[in-house]
Protein backbone atom coordinates (compact mmCIF):
# COMPACT_ATOMS: atom_id res chain seq x y z
CA UNK A 1 0.00 0.00 0.00
CA UNK A 2 2.76 2.43 0.93
CA UNK A 3 4.60 1.63 -2.29
CA UNK A 4 1.53 2.54 -4.32
CA UNK A 5 1.13 5.82 -2.43
CA UNK A 6 4.83 6.57 -2.99
CA UNK A 7 4.52 6.01 -6.74
CA UNK A 8 1.34 8.09 -6.97
CA UNK A 9 2.86 11.01 -5.06
CA UNK A 10 6.03 10.75 -7.17
CA UNK A 11 4.07 10.78 -10.43
CA UNK A 12 1.79 13.59 -9.27
CA UNK A 13 4.80 15.72 -8.40
CA UNK A 14 6.33 15.05 -11.82
CA UNK A 15 3.07 15.91 -13.59
CA UNK A 16 2.86 19.21 -11.70
CA UNK A 17 6.48 20.24 -12.28
CA UNK A 18 7.62 18.60 -15.52
CA UNK A 19 10.44 16.12 -16.06
CA UNK A 20 13.96 17.46 -15.47
CA UNK A 21 16.76 16.28 -13.20
CA UNK A 22 15.91 18.92 -10.60
CA UNK A 23 12.19 18.11 -10.59
CA UNK A 24 12.83 14.36 -10.45
CA UNK A 25 15.04 14.96 -7.40
CA UNK A 26 12.37 17.20 -5.90
CA UNK A 27 9.71 14.55 -6.60
CA UNK A 28 11.79 11.94 -4.78
CA UNK A 29 12.23 14.25 -1.79
CA UNK A 30 8.52 15.13 -1.68
CA UNK A 31 7.54 11.46 -1.99
CA UNK A 32 9.86 10.45 0.85
CA UNK A 33 8.51 13.29 3.01
CA UNK A 34 4.90 12.22 2.41
CA UNK A 35 5.77 8.59 3.12
CA UNK A 36 7.60 9.60 6.31
CA UNK A 37 4.57 11.53 7.55
CA UNK A 38 2.20 8.69 6.68
CA UNK A 39 4.52 6.24 8.42
CA UNK A 40 4.54 8.36 11.57
CA UNK A 41 0.73 8.52 11.53
CA UNK A 42 0.68 4.72 11.21
CA UNK A 43 3.02 4.35 14.19
CA UNK A 44 0.80 6.63 16.29
CA UNK A 45 -2.27 4.58 15.39
CA UNK A 46 -0.43 1.37 16.29
CA UNK A 47 0.63 2.80 19.66
CA UNK A 48 -2.71 4.48 20.40
CA UNK A 49 -4.05 1.76 22.77
CA UNK A 50 -0.84 1.95 24.84
CA UNK A 51 -0.92 5.74 24.90
CA UNK A 52 -4.55 5.70 26.08
CA UNK A 53 -3.77 3.10 28.77
CA UNK A 54 -0.80 5.19 29.94
CA UNK A 55 -2.94 8.34 30.14
CA UNK A 56 -5.66 6.49 32.08
CA UNK A 57 -3.03 5.16 34.51
CA UNK A 58 -1.69 8.69 35.08
CA UNK A 59 -5.22 10.01 35.60
CA UNK A 60 -6.01 7.25 38.13
CA UNK A 61 -2.74 7.90 39.97
CA UNK A 62 -3.47 11.63 40.20
CA UNK A 63 -7.07 11.12 41.36
CA UNK A 64 -6.68 8.16 43.72
CA UNK A 65 -3.14 7.62 44.91
CA UNK A 66 -1.46 11.02 44.82
CA UNK A 67 -1.16 12.81 48.17
CA UNK A 68 -3.27 15.92 48.55
CA UNK A 69 -1.78 19.15 49.86
Q: What pLDDT digit, counting tens, does each position of 4-59 carry?
A: 888 888 888 888 888 888 888 888 888 889 889 988 999 999 999 999 999 999 99
Is pLDDT at 66 greater than 80 in this prediction? no
At 66, is the secondary structure helix, strand, or coil?
Answer: coil
**Cβ-based burial of 24 (10 A; exposed 0-12, middle 13-18, buried ≥19):** middle
User: pTM, whole model, 2 decimals?
Assistant: 0.60
Amino acid sequence: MFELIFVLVFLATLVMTGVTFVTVTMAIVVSFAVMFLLGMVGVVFNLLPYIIAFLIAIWIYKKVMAPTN
